Amino acid sequence: MESGKLSAKAFTTNPKTRRHAGSGCVSRDRAMAFMEFLFERGFRGRLGYEALRLQFVLFFGTNDSRTVERYIGRPERVERYGGDAKVVRLNRMSGKVAHFEYFNERRLREKKGLMEILGYISILKDGTVILHHEGMPYYTSQASLDETLNYEQRIDLQELRNEEG
């Protein structure tokens, strides 16, 4: 880059905003197709996070952790691993030996994925996922006209049918 060349962009400390869910956005369309896939397989209401993750792998054909976290997010969890942290200490005065084993603990915070940002799913604190199929275009609950009308409207409709018939 040449020195002395001016940039039209001003320096700012404001955070960048990320825009998801634009119409025609590939990620949004894939998330909606995944929700339809879950609906067709009979997954409605509540589902465990690991079961949702398995269905994600079956649908998308990848188990890359970054891709899974970007789409469905992750609940808060604690990872514990031991590694090779075993220590033996010897007290020279008494000759007693003490064995210690250390475990590393890492707390991973909750991370919202695209599907949670769009409102397709909700991840609860216990790791349960709630699927929200109601707002999707494929979700329709069919009801007859008589079921949607109140009592007075039904009587009026019956009288109208009797007059015509």
Count Cβ atoms within 10 A of the Cβ of residue 75 and give its class: 0-12 exposed, 13-18 middle, 19 or more buried: middle
pLDDT tens digit sequence for 105-140: 888 888 899 999 988 999 988 889 999 988 888 877
Confidence of residue 27 (pLDDT cuts 50, 70, 90): confident
Q: pLDDT at residue 56 above 90? A: yes
Which residue type does 36 have?
A: E
Question: Domain spans of the chain?
Answer: 26-164
pLDDT attached to residue 153: 66
Which residue type does 74 have?
A: R
Structure tokens at 141: 């609950």
DSSP H or E stretch at residue 57: helix 49-60
Q: What are phi and psi of 134, to 5 degrees?
A: -60, -35
Q: Stretch 89-107: mean pLDDT, rounded?
A: 78
Confidence of residue 38 (pLDDT cuts 50, 70, 90): very high
